[in-house]
Structure 1
Amino acid sequence: MKKFLLLITFLFAISVGYSQNTLKANVSNENLELLKSFKSEEQQRISRVNAYTKSNRKVIMTSKDSLNYMHLYDVIDGVALYKTTHNLGSANATKTSDLQVGGSLGLNLDGSGMTLGVWDFGPIETGHPEFQNKTNTGSRVINVDNTSVGSETGFNDHATHISGTIGAKGVDANARGMATNINIHTYNWTNDKVEMLAAVNSATNPIIISNHSYGVPLVGEDKEKLPAWYMGAYTKDARDMDEISRNNPKYLIVTSAGNDGRTSYTGGMYADFDKLTTDKNAKNNLVIANANPVLQPFSSNFKTLIINRSSSQGPTDDLRVKPDIAADGTDVYSTTLDGTYATFSGTSMSAPNATGTLALLQQYYMQLHGGYMNSSTLKGLVCHTAVDDIAAPGPDPAFGWGFLDARASAEAIYNATTNTAILNELNLAQGKTYTMKFSAIAGDKLKATISWTDMPGDISQGELNDPTARLVNDLDLRISKDGEVFFPWKLNFDSATGFSNSKGDNTADNIEIVEIEAPSSGEYTLTVSHKGTLRGNVGNVFTPQTQDFALIVTGGNLVLNTKENVLSNNLVVFPNPSQGEFTISFDAHLNTNEDVKISVYDTSGRKIYANSFVNNSVRFTETIKLDHARPGVYIANISKGDSNTTHKIVIK
């Protein structure tokens, strides 16, 4: 045992040294302070575990079978906390296949040029044929941590299966992952918070998405259940995740919900609910439930869409919608050791189904805009476009906001470039209100979402089912028309009847979604405001600050107000297709004297042209020459002041 603990301390020191040496030179002071704090906490955690094992003669880790692992992770107030892996044709159900190479959308996305982080029990089999690059000259996977948790040695089946679900290239077509050419950096879950900070701030190949298919179960290896107050509580682990997210706004942490759906305990909010633990109760991560979808034959339509009974149910004690969404984690066929394949089920499998899909959405956004979207934008987008479970409309504590629909998310990204949808990253200042107007024609549903990365909240003090809201910056989304106000969804709770949803003032979630099922024709006004004082982590946290947020609006009958789309008014690109020389012309009645900026990107997101033009006339007209541009599709980004638009360019 002493030798083992010395080994853990030695490996920790190595990982910290590696992290510090590879950090970006311009890493923020907030991240440096957080890294210092996490390093200190990790040493204290090791000391607590050491003391507990000595006094109770407990083992650090127990291997339950070839796939499931449980590890004595920490001891808090005398309670032993264990971490466990979350186990029990994903791409088709989530419509990720429509985005992939050869998919129906024609996007041919594969995650090229991107790196994801995978934290799990141990290293994966990098030599598996499914992890080879396109030319089969090397692996796309690097085991940054080349050891397992505890005393296990060798490659790990669980981590290998998860990584295959994310990024298997498709040597076996049935095992093809979501992002077939993505790079993966793997770590074991010991010291994960320090390593996450280092990976997202790395000077080379920084990550913007990571997968975590493990967590603290209701019942530990000692067969003792956690104290009831842990379930649904906003613990320090949850706060730490929120703090990492707040300091790194592009970084989205994807976690499995857990597999305690069939586990019962005394003291929960309601029978068969309230089973999320520790970091699953954070605000800024994306927590994935395990659904069991069945598609109709030769169709992408659902025959049935139900949650797997083993999937852990929410919500949080303060009635936030958790899990956030569901993905396909039932009977997932993927990579295992020795170049083989196997079928497993669990939220461990649904999380990487979502993680790999999110990477493709970021790749597509990069191609259109030349940069990645904020994590709150990506999270809001997949919640906005999620498919409602068949049982009832609106959010619930099993599916969250619904089932992942990659095709609908990609279509929203594209429609925003043609001004038939809105996908904007905005900022709300203290005491201000954001307002926009749009028109709608009676018929299709209108849907609007705001999503933001919130400040860390106050940690729960051990009170059972404490309903205190953990939201710090409470933004409010409203849509109005002819005196009628449309409110967002929210969860409700009654101790006698359980959980339901309704529309009203949501004071719990940092995602708000307004749906108008049957809009009437006419003009609508959308507003985003806030309650109280906006807090931040720049300078003095007690002084009023601003809050970034994403705004997403979709609907087949949406007609955007001309004020919101001034650069798109009568936009003409001609000829298009062209031989590489074309003219951009549009109405430019803007109350600014700023230059018009035009950038052109290829489909990999590489900028091939950029220039600024002085323009104070009513009509802007300029000819662009793309020398040496190869035939293909390009995206022109056009901006003047705070207004911008994009347009697809085809070179033949």
Structure 2
Amino acid sequence: MKKPLLLVSALAISLINAQNNDALKREFEKQNKENNEKFDLYISKHYGANKSPEALQEIENDRSRLAGFLPGGRPYFHQAHDMDQILNSNSDFLQEGTLSGLTGSFNGEGIKFSIFDGGNSSAKGRVYADHVFFNNAPNRITNKEASSMNYGAHSTAVASFIGAKHYPYTITFQDGTTRQVNFKGIAPNSTIDAYNFGTTVLAGNTAESTIFEKILIAQPNISNHSYGTNMGWDQTTINGATALIWNGNFTSPNNSQDAQGSYYVNDRNYDQIVYNNPSYIIVKSAGNSYGIGPTSNSLPKYYINSSGNPELFSATDTLPQNNCAQGYDCIGFGSLAKNIIIVGATDRITTNNGRYTTKNDIIHSAYSSAGPRDDGGIKPDITAVGTSVATASTAENTIGGNLFTIGDGTSYSAPVVTGVIGLWTQINKQLFSGNILNAASAKTLMIHSAQEAGNIGPDPHFGWGFIDAKKGAELLVGKSNNTVVFTDEVLNNSAINTKSVTAIGSEPLKVTISWIDPEFTNFSNLWSDLHNNRTSKLINDLDLKITDTTTNTVYYPWKLDALNPMTPATKGDNTVDNVEQVVIDAPVAGRTYKIEISHKGVLKNNAGNSAPQNYSIIVTGFGSVLGTNETITKSDVIITPTITKDIVNIMKAPKKSTFTMYDLSGKKLQSGVINSDLQTIDVSSYTKGIYIIEVKTNKDVISKKIIKE
């Protein structure tokens, strides 16, 4: 009886998703129509009566790359983000089938990727499917764009990082030096569907499709998106000459605002797509804008004036700082979404035979855009090698050619991560009856298995660390033999999900959760609200903590300080990330630790209605699980007020219940037994900050954060 019920449930979910996607398609069609109308107004102001062939071609190219509009009605545009990738990421352990617990090798067999790519023109972007790097099997690359579109060097390169075959080669550089490379991709036996990221008419269609409509058409399990926007300084061509352009807001002589780090409409669209389609794993590049700007740069410098035209900064103007001048905050729109994976770039590991040994092996690539999101959300999510890597290329015409190059870019690190997730999906299918990873489980696996890079914990350059294909595969094997907890779970409103485990003691006790959060929609069309907006973009704020049941010490997740993100991450209440990770570095062997997943407020779906929240969880470093998926329903106990200067009241707690107050480090401050319907706690002597009050009844544990003013 179970199988028919599961099939009915899956069918119902499929129908609901289809209905949601139909509504999304209509919404994206509406957005495209409105953007085209705005663009027409912009063109009439910007070009006037200039209808030269060159102007018309420029207008057409810009329309195809149109990404949206800034406050004030100015358009912004998508742009491409440009044997090392295998060794650096430890993918060869999977490709060669050398991992214990797995049968055979994993090179992407049965895995289809979708890539959305292109160039700065709507006329190019197809992958050169006949490249010698893809001829190890027929029909490996399927171009979904019209055959009249030129092949693109960038899209062909991206496809090769995912799926180029084994191809060793000796490259001779112009200075006479040589280097041994292997162009082999992460998943050389996979297949790829290729789309342009621009607004185009797909093969067989009559209407144009935007990038968001194309994602819904493709229905990808795993997709790569090596493009983005630059909301700060960028290099461009003005009046036939190379120049710098400030893409933010500027009013002479010294008023500048930018949208770097700002969650905006494109981020909302990606989040909405994944929320409606939780199986869509979207991997996207962080961007290559780090360090671009006027300092020590002799190029002419422009900003966009109120008429939408480039205007030279005057000698008396105060120029905006270089992108990421303080080491952080230069990721653009579309690469700040919560539900997708954003990838930064690192230099090649050239020591240790290309293997990671310590965090010092990982060097942030000088161009790779840094986070965090303006609310402090951790971006990028992960890093992979992207600098000085060997890749396929092609002539950019309708004929194509077998070219190759050495290049740099987060465009090249992103498909490494995409390919690794494909191999993990292939392993997951072998171990677990053909089941695929979803967006939440893929991100949880990626983050839990990441190698440390940069500061201890997450940081704005490396996110959660450096991709490790081998470690992720080992976690999947651990799940299959019950030495790792890796499950998808549901948190209901007014509930706390708990697990009790005993620690091994020889390794950290580590727990990671992630969830697909409803899209944030409360936008303002004012530059003053867009610039450095610290409002959390979370809708459902889940909370993870671990309690040492012997000492009652509470351990909290990592978080960044939005105002000082270059300082090492701290541990406390994370209110901005839909990923939380708690690590106890030296747990006591044999001791019991309680893992709790709770939430703030009311859990909602993206229609704003009360709804449970799904999440993915991984636990490692335990010897045994004493209680799994225990759910505690919160009682009628009331802890109020949550913001106070002196007194907190505990109401409706059963007699002989106990209360304990902790600071965020887990230090116990006071405790007692409750013998009346109203228990008062005096907090007046404590410093301003956040504290935890925990009430234990004979069947419930209720925790609440309070703010001491």
Same fold (TM over 0.5): yes
1:129 and 2:132 correspond: yes
Matches within 5 A, 1:193-212: 193-200=212-219, 207-212=220-225
Structure-1 separation of matches of 2:212 and 2:585: 42
1:489 is matched by which residue type in structure 2?
W
Check whether the contact 1:62–1:70 (CA below 8 A) recurs between aligned residues: no
1:226 and 2:295 correspond: no
Any idea what SS the aligned residue of 1:371 has? coil
Alignment equivalent of 2:376, drawn from 315, 319, 324: 319
Structure-2 separation of matches of 1:371 and 1:416: 13
**Paired position in structure 2 for 1:111:** 108
1:248 and 2:317 correspond: no
Tell me which structure has the larger Cα radius of gyration. Answer: 2
2:595 is matched by which residue type in structure 1?
L
The 3 A distance-change label for structure 1 pair 156 and 487 is: same
**Paired position in structure 1 for 2:186:** 178
Identity %: 31
Shift in Å at residue 472 of structure 1?
0.5
Structure-2 separation of matches of 1:111 and 1:362: 9
Structure-1 separation of matches of 2:456 and 2:583: 10
Cα deviations by residue, 1:87-124 (Å, 9 ceiling, x for unpaired): 2x111101111111455566411222221111111101
**Paired position in structure 2 for 1:290:** 345
**Paired position in structure 1 for 2:330:** 275
1:310 and 2:363 correspond: no
Check whether the contact 1:129–1:171 (CA below 8 A) recurs between aligned residues: no
Structure-2 separation of matches of 1:269 and 1:130: 37
Alignment equivalent of 1:492, drawn from 551, 557, 561: 561
**Paired position in structure 1 for 2:618:** 552
1:55 and 2:41 correspond: no
**Paired position in structure 1 for 2:142:** 142
The 3 A distance-change label for structure 1 pair 341 and 498 is: closer
Any idea what SS the aligned residue of 1:364 has? helix
Alignment equivalent of 2:268, drawn from 195, 219, 239: 239
Check whether the contact 2:163–2:186 (CA below 8 A) recurs between aligned residues: yes
2:494 is matched by which residue type in structure 1?
G
**Paired position in structure 1 for 2:456:** 393
Shift in Å at residue 356 of structure 1?
0.9
Structure-2 separation of matches of 1:133 and 1:60: 42
Residues 258-267 or 31-40, more deviating: 258-267
Check whether the contact 1:52–1:75 (CA below 8 A) recurs between aligned residues: no
Shift in Å at residue 411 of structure 1?
0.4
The 3 A distance-change label for structure 1 pair 162 and 560 is: same
**Paired position in structure 1 for 2:582:** 514
Check whether the contact 1:233–1:466 (CA below 8 A) recurs between aligned residues: yes
Shift in Å at residue 277 of structure 1?
1.2
Structure-2 separation of matches of 1:383 and 1:512: 10
Shift in Å at residue 83 of structure 1?
1.9
Shift in Å at residue 268 of structure 1?
8.0
Structure-1 separation of matches of 2:415 and 2:456: 26
1:189 and 2:184 correspond: no
1:372 and 2:436 correspond: yes
Check whether the contact 2:291–2:322 (CA below 8 A) recurs between aligned residues: no
Query: What is the TM-score normalised by the length of structure 1?
Result: 0.75
Structure-2 separation of matches of 1:270 and 1:118: 32
Any idea what SS the aligned residue of 1:514 has? strand
The 3 A distance-change label for structure 1 pair 147 and 187 is: farther
Residues 486-495 or 277-286, more deviating: 486-495
1:339 and 2:402 correspond: yes
The 3 A distance-change label for structure 1 pair 288 and 498 is: closer
Aligned length: 517
Check whether the contact 1:234–1:459 (CA below 8 A) recurs between aligned residues: no
Matches within 5 A, 1:374-523: 374-389=438-453, 391-461=454-524, 462=527, 463=529, 464-481=531-548, 482=550, 483-494=552-563, 498-521=566-589, 522-523=591-592
**Paired position in structure 2 for 1:91:** 86
Alignment equivalent of 1:526, drawn from 595, 610, 628: 595
Check whether the contact 2:187–2:422 (CA below 8 A) recurs between aligned residues: yes
Structure-1 separation of matches of 2:471 and 2:402: 34
Cα deviations by residue, 1:299-343 (Å, 9 ceiling, x for unpaired): 623472111010001000110000000011111212111112211
Check whether the contact 1:31–1:197 (CA below 8 A) recurs between aligned residues: yes
The 3 A distance-change label for structure 1 pair 460 and 316 is: farther
Check whether the contact 2:88–2:354 (CA below 8 A) recurs between aligned residues: no
Alignment equivalent of 1:100, drawn from 82, 95, 102: 95
The 3 A distance-change label for structure 1 pair 219 and 78 is: farther
1:120 is matched by which residue type in structure 2?
D
Shift in Å at residue 443 of structure 1?
2.5
Matches within 5 A, 1:8-23: none
Q: Which ranges in structure 1 are unaligned for 5 or more consecutive residues?
A: 1-23, 64-68, 201-206, 567-652
Shift in Å at residue 406 of structure 1?
0.8
Check whether the contact 1:61–1:71 (CA below 8 A) recurs between aligned residues: no
Any idea what SS the aligned residue of 1:315 has? coil
Structure-1 separation of matches of 2:78 and 2:156: 18
Any idea what SS the aligned residue of 1:492 has? coil
Structure-2 separation of matches of 1:336 and 1:311: 22
The 3 A distance-change label for structure 1 pair 441 and 336 is: same
Cα deviations by residue, 1:323-376 (Å, 9 ceiling, x for unpaired): 000011111212111112211111010001111111111111111112112211
Check whether the contact 2:164–2:183 (CA below 8 A) recurs between aligned residues: yes
1:34 and 2:24 correspond: yes
Check whether the contact 2:42–2:74 (CA below 8 A) recurs between aligned residues: no
Structure-1 separation of matches of 2:345 and 2:608: 40
**Paired position in structure 2 for 1:355:** 418
Check whether the contact 1:178–1:356 (CA below 8 A) recurs between aligned residues: yes
Any idea what SS the aligned residue of 2:342 has? strand
Shift in Å at residue 73 of structure 1?
4.5
Check whether the contact 2:540–2:603 (CA below 8 A) recurs between aligned residues: yes
Check whether the contact 1:53–1:60 (CA below 8 A) recurs between aligned residues: no
Structure-2 separation of matches of 1:465 and 1:27: 34
